[in-house]
Chains A and B, each alone.
Chain A
Amino acid sequence: MSIDTINDADSVSESPSPEPSSTPLKRRLVGGGQSLAARSEPMLWLHGGALVICVVMIIGLLLLVLYQGATTFWPVAITQVRTLDGDTVLGEVTRNDHYHLGYGDIGTFSEPVREEAVALLNPIFQKKLSKIEDRDGVAEFINRQSESVERSLQKLTSGLPQVVEAPAIQRNALTDGISQLLSAKQSSIETQVASDIKTALQADDTGAALFALWQSWQDAEAAWSSTPNPDAMLDAIQSDGDVLSSIYGNRFLTLQSFDVETAAHRRLFRTGNYELTNEHFTWVSDFATEPDSESDPEWAVLFERLTWGRFYGVPKELQVDGEATETDPQAVWAKFLELHPVVRDRWHQRRDLEISDTGQINHELEQARLDLRSIELANGKDSPEWEEANKQFLAEKEKLDKAFAEIRSQIQSLDDENDRYQMIVTTSTGQEHAIPLADIVRTYPANQLGFSERLGIYFSRWWEFLSDDPREANSEGGVFPAIWGTVVMTLLMSVVVVPFGVLAALYLREYAKAGLMVSIVRIAINNLAGVPSIVFGVFGLGFFCYLIGASIDQLFFEAKLPSPTFGTGGIMWAALTLALLTLPVVIVATEEALAAVPRSMREGSLACGATKWQTIRRIVLPRAMPGIMTGMILAMARGAGEVAPLMLVGAVKLAPELPMDGHVPFVHLERSFMHLGFHIYDLGFQSQNSEAAKPMVFTTTLLLIALIALMNLLAIGLRSRLKKKFAYSQF
């Protein structure tokens, strides 16, 4: 139906056509004309609109994650500003925002900053009072506010320490006295205050006069508040009427000032240098900075370190054995670039020694101890067998201790060599700080970089993120163990859930006789999909870890008890728990796929003399495979993104030891593991340094989404290949 015909119909129905004979026919042709539902367009708009809203929400979320996640690692310039407090802030600007600055905030500022803030706020305050004066007169306005002013005054009075400590009789006398005085002299006080304010507003320099007035009233109130006892305070306001009107005026202006605020711009600087300043980030408000003090110092250098987070400063000298070799930043940098790779090489050697060689010795020692312990369990302590084994164990231990000491000494010598080199860096506040070269992971003079160098740093950070272990409570370094854990756990889960789900669905669809029992089972399976995932976590912990795992420990790992092997969270239990969680998805999808296999194909096979199982295996299953794959994809997507149950059954904050290594039996399914979803939770909500962790949350989310998308794409590719094979071309 074209637009033209619709318009025709409308014009026809609105204005009767001169030839009545053609009208009804035309109306019929364009679909009723009267009923909105008779035309499909309104529903089309509704459906289209719903789709657009869904798509916009999803794309919006993805774009947010993509933008935030992708920009985390981009090296930005290092900016230096001087604040009016006299501090110099050097760091990367990580966030810009506006906040509401009001008179309430200025108490926390130091003197010069407060002046700036007041200068920002005063014109607004003055404008407000002028407006009141223009509208209905200050006196009238004060009169309307009298009740709240009095309440504020009473509140102030009763809160003063000397009043609180005074006997009740004096307290009551004071408050009653104030009330009486106020009600007696209300109009004169109001007139006084109003005329003072009006005078100030009419002065040449309105702002200055107004704030001089406010200042004087504040001083008067302060003086009165410091009177030592309630009786004296009462005397003071009774004897001198000006005191009361000053206090009253101050209360009025203070109350009015609450409504005055302005939007102030501020920036969050990542300043690092945690060991010196005890903070990683500093807010700097624009009004609190010295004008024209902002610069990008040429030799501002960012250091990413093994510990303590980032360091920002200017290289001063490079020390070898405590002697300064270079003192000019340029030369220091050149020398640093020459020395750093060598030092880092030594550091890598040292780490390898520490992790793999020491790890090997520890493993052997533990093995020897376990052997001894099993003999002890089998034959009892102090039995001849045990004595014999103990002797062996001690000999072994001595040997291993010796090897261990040797490795320690190697490590020590590498450390000693590395300790010779350090860089002295001047911070923005002029402090000098020594950074050992071995501690520096990555460093660059941010303000001298060209685009390609920035790109290089960007990708090297991504590579570190993807391939390295985490540092600094997970907020720095990489997430390789988490990627590994997520992928392996998801694959393990698929390996478990697909066969079980398919077998169960086959029984339900192919063998079970339709009836009440099958219906109940089917409803139960569908309900299983709606059970909160944390319930599966609790079940997994109770059943897999504590029941089955503990039994396995009793039977096979007795020597290790009381420390559990399988009796605690681990990657296998996590995979099994998630397999349970995703089982309904697979069963339902497989059942659908089996039901979609045409009856004629089964009959064709059976008529050839195939048994039921042969028919299922050769005809039904291959034909249903794309549908089963769909179920697997859904299950994988659900399982890989699930976090809550994992917290209970084996996902941990930090597990650099992968569940696969060079020690027999190579695969250690009992080990706990890291998971990207849990990593996100940990970074976002458990991190000490939440501001630094925030971009990592986005980056990790991006990575998790990319990982799930990749796994799904692989499965979808496989499925489409299968589908092509079964494309049904009838004629």
Chain B
Amino acid sequence: MPRAQPQKHPFTDTTMQNETMKEPNAQDSSAVATNGQTQLRRLERIAAGEHLPSEIHPEIMDESAILEIKDFCLWYGAKQALFDVSMRIPAGKVTALIGPSGCGKSTLLRSVNRMNDLIDGVRTDGDMQLYDQSILAPDVDVIELRKMMGMVFQKPNPFPMSIFENVVYPLRIDGENNRAVLEEVCERSLRGAALWGEVKDRLHESGLSLSGGQQQRLCIARAIASEPEVLLLDEPCSALDPVSSGKVEDLISELAGQYTVLVVTHNMQQAARVSDYTAFMYLGHLIEYGKTEVIFSEPRLRETEDYTTGRFG
């Protein structure tokens, strides 16, 4: 993997770059002290309400973006939760959002299919474009938008109905009642979610009778049933045991390429394993965004390294 050339990147601030161009492996005491100082400075400045430009790696500009977030801000009532987030989400790739709790990664994810509309007092600024079309414009059909985005939540939330009905729910609400179509979609989605083998003989049992990991894969099957453009995964493994998590991770890797996946996770290893690109967020600010290997091995910013290695956060 070639090392990124930070100087070429238009958004990169040179002063900051100088601070972070240190050898990451340097273990001498002075280097550590400087690191700590820098980190404190940058994060303290953000905590103090200052906005610092994000460190965005240039490779991302080479990818074709399906979703482009431009200077997106969001307020819950008077409290601002996202500050001028700008991201390009590459098509057909897995993009992970990482960061400590409360950093706004779930909020960003939920803004993509406008689930935040359901919360009273949410206000946004900036823009998000799917295929060069704004999704925040007032005339956008939210229902159609959501149909283009499958979403999977932190806690498995199968509906109180049969496995079959759970999977074909997106089609049912579209009024599709053709049994053959439904069955075909059900099988395809369940195979896609690697659940077909486990449930094919009991499609008419309640979705709630499955185990937690199976329930989460059922939710993924539901999310891909309507063949969405983007798959939004909000900490999909946080309520699952390691074995189930592993299955869901394998699934995410398989889904990459077929779908554009945006995944929020708290688990560094998971982000490193499944994603192509990783964005590190802190207190509503996008700090660094780049290829996953780079972010986890040689990030531009000390803060990112500290977070991914567990020194802070």
Contact = CB atoms under 8 A, between A and B. Distances in A.
Interface of A: 513, 598, 600-601, 603-611, 614, 618-619, 622-623, 725-731
B208 A607 contact: no
Interface residues of B, number: 36
Interface string B93-127: 00000000000000000000101001010000000
A603 B143 CA distance: 13
Nearest to A514: B120
A611 B146 CA distance: 10
Contacts of B217: none
B211 A603 contact: no
B169 interface: yes
A609 B157 contact: no
12 contacts: A603-B157, A607-B113, A607-B115, A609-B143, A609-B146, A609-B147, A609-B226, A618-B161, A622-B160, A727-B208, A729-B209, A731-B212
A604 B219 contact: yes
B170 interface: yes
Contacts of A607: 113, 115, 146, 149-151, 153, 223, 232
Contacts of B206: 725-727
B153 A603 contact: yes
Contacts of B222: 604, 608
Interface in B210-240: 211-212, 215, 219, 222-223, 226, 232
A209 B294 CA distance: 130
B171 to A, nearest CB: 10
Interface string B9-47: 000000000000000000000000000000000000000
Contacts of B172: 618
B209 A618 contact: no
Contact of A611 (B143, B170, B211, B215): B143
A603 B151 CA distance: 9
A606 B117 CA distance: 11
Nearest to B117: A606
Nearest to B141: A609
A725 B160 contact: yes
B159 A601 contact: yes
Contacts of B118: 603, 606
Contacts of B219: 604
B151 A605 contact: no
Q: Which 4 A-B pairs have the closest CB atoms?
A: A609-B147, A607-B151, A600-B157, A609-B146
B212 A608 contact: no
Contacts of A598: 157
Contacts of B223: 607-608
Given A604-B222, A730-B215, 15 more contacts: A513-B120, A603-B118, A604-B157, A608-B146, A608-B223, A609-B144, A610-B173, A611-B173, A614-B173, A618-B159, A618-B172, A619-B159, A725-B206, A727-B208, A729-B209
Contacts of A601: 157, 159-160
Interface string B194-207: 00000000000010
B208 A728 contact: yes
A731 B113 CA distance: 29
A173 to B, nearest CB: 99
A728 B150 CA distance: 23
A618 B211 CA distance: 23
Interface string B149-177: 11101011111110000000110111000
Contacts of A730: 156, 212, 215
Contact of B153 (A600, A619, A728, A731): A600
B173 A609 contact: yes
Contacts of A603: 115, 118, 153, 157
Contacts of B151: 604, 607-608
B235 to A, nearest CB: 12
Contacts of B146: 606-609
Contacts of A610: 143, 169, 173
A604 B167 CA distance: 12
Contact of A729 (B143, B155, B208, B226): B208
A725 B205 CA distance: 9
Given A619-B160, A725-B206, A726-B208, A604 B153 contact: yes
Given A605-B169, A606-B115, A607-B113, A622 B157 contact: no
A620 to B, nearest CB: 10
A726 B160 contact: yes
A270 B203 CA distance: 69
A509 to B, nearest CB: 14
Q: Which of B115, B160, B173, B174 has most chain A Cβ within 10 Å? A: B160
Contacts of A608: 146-147, 150-151, 169-170, 173, 222-223, 226
A606 B113 CA distance: 10
A726 to B, nearest CB: 4
A314 B97 CA distance: 101
Contacts of B174: 609
A414 B115 CA distance: 82
A114 to B, nearest CB: 81
A260 to B, nearest CB: 78
Contacts of B161: 618, 622
B190 to A, nearest CB: 16
A604 B215 CA distance: 13
B208 A618 contact: no
A615 to B, nearest CB: 9
Nearest to A726: B160
A611 B157 CA distance: 18
A731 to B, nearest CB: 5
Nearest to A609: B147
B170 to A, nearest CB: 5
B169 A618 contact: yes
A618 B173 contact: yes
A608 B170 CA distance: 6
A215 B146 CA distance: 109
Contacts of A606: 115, 118, 146
A726 B158 CA distance: 11
A229 B82 CA distance: 116
Nearest to B153: A600
A614 B171 CA distance: 12
A728 B159 CA distance: 10
Contacts of A605: 159, 169
Nearest to B118: A606
Contacts of B143: 609-611
Interface in B78-102: none
B156 to A, nearest CB: 8
Contacts of A619: 159-160
A604 B234 CA distance: 12
A726 B162 CA distance: 10
Contact of B160 (A513, A609, A623, A731): A623
A622 B206 CA distance: 13
A201 to B, nearest CB: 91
A318 B38 CA distance: 122
A598 B223 CA distance: 19
A184 to B, nearest CB: 102
Contacts of B145: 609
A731 B169 contact: no
A557 B157 CA distance: 57
Nearest to B165: A618
Interface string B50-66: 00000000000000000
Nearest to A615: B173
A112 to B, nearest CB: 82
Contacts of B209: 729
A608 B172 CA distance: 10
A609 B115 CA distance: 10
A730 B158 CA distance: 10
Nearest to A604: B157
A619 B207 CA distance: 13
A608 B232 CA distance: 11
B215 to A, nearest CB: 8
A511 to B, nearest CB: 13
Given A608-B222, A727-B208, A731-B211, A600 B120 contact: no
